Structure 1
Amino acid sequence: MMREVYRRYFAARPDLFGVLLPDLLPHEVCGAAPPGRVKVLFLAESPPWVAGRHEVAVAADCRRPDYPYFWNDRYEAGALRGPLAGGLAENLFYLLGLDGESRRENLALFIEDGFFLVDTVKCIFRKNRKGVIPVDLVRLSAREILEAEIAALAPEYVVALGGTALSGLRMIEPYATALAGAGTIIEVSREGLLEKPRLLCLPYPGWRNRQHQDLIESGFSTLRDLVA
């Protein structure tokens, strides 16, 4: 079903030839499986489009040791050089206080603690060729895939990581109502946890947002207290 959603969209968007790969779904290749009870669901943007210096193109690329996708347990980034200085997975593990000795161990701890992560757009979108994911693709993903996915996972809390995740949630209920009139991801982040629904919005935890490190760390501190 998921592939069919993206295939239909792709068929109507010839301008995205070579940019959007509707059949390449890294979460399926890497076997991402949620815990029985999802305490916190993190919502990111989309899977990485590059492994090392090469664009990912086929399923086997998603299991390469140089492909930094969150659920690729073969990827090892090495020691984190500082807060927000790694990739998404390394930064999340640091902010959550997970201290496994490998990506595989930290993913196991992540699941064990009731955490799970999904992308707003599930297939590969090569942002090196087109820098911004189209709004209609975010809308399609949110309404035809993400809404049902969140309902099935039934998380106790949802954490939007970045502007694309926030945009996706604005397009589905109950988040659209809660976010009506809300501003940018930074502005929403400063409001803290929304109680109904249980939603926390934070800047993407990466180096480009290091100027918002205090805001990000404060949000994760709140999150750790909630699930302790």
Structure 2
Amino acid sequence: MTQHSNGHHTHGAALEPGGVSVRIIPPLQEMLARLETRRSAPLRGLVEPGPNREELDCLLRLATRVPDHGRLVPWRFVVIEGEARGALGERLDALYALQNPSLPDSKADMWTLYMRRAPLTIVLVSRPDPAAKVPEWNQVLSVGAAGMALTAAAAALGFATQWLLKWPGRDPDAAALLGVTAGERVAGFIHIGRPDRINEDRPRPALENVVSHWRP
């Protein structure tokens, strides 16, 4: 790494003992600090304003920068924002009432309220290719990585997220309302908005309880 007279550092190259050139990339402390404090926010605590068009495009671009063995792109995103939230919620309520004839009146609009809570919802859809040489499990893991990349990108932009998989994502008929087709599966509804409060972090596992080092 080279330091210029203005004090700024640039990426540099160093030679390893074997003569191999290694690119030196300095750590981004602000990024590390933001990742250190990333947490899920309660859905009711996600408020306006949601991402604007430029921020939304940034979120989606970053969400695609994940491991993808075979370059299969085994995932896609469905964006639900604005008035589309209520329109989808009403269709979900109608379907839910059809499936649950004894549903009390107090829950007649539960999915409309659910879809309107967050300013923006991105539905993560898994679409593995069963004919590919890449195992389906690898493809499913890539879907999870895309979801995590999306939540990390949202945190970097100052938003909070809640990743849920409730009835609308688990029920095939409800998922079909989103355009989810045969061979696809909803991996989650990722709700995005501004946090209305700083939420207490949940306990994280001690590294010694989840990390082991393999040795021959």
Does the TM-score normalized on the shorter chain lie above 0.5? no
Q: Which has the higher contact order (CA 8 A, sep 6+)?
A: 2
Q: TM-score, normalised by structure 2?
A: 0.31
Higher normalized strand content (fraction of residues): 2
Higher normalized helix content (fraction of residues): 1
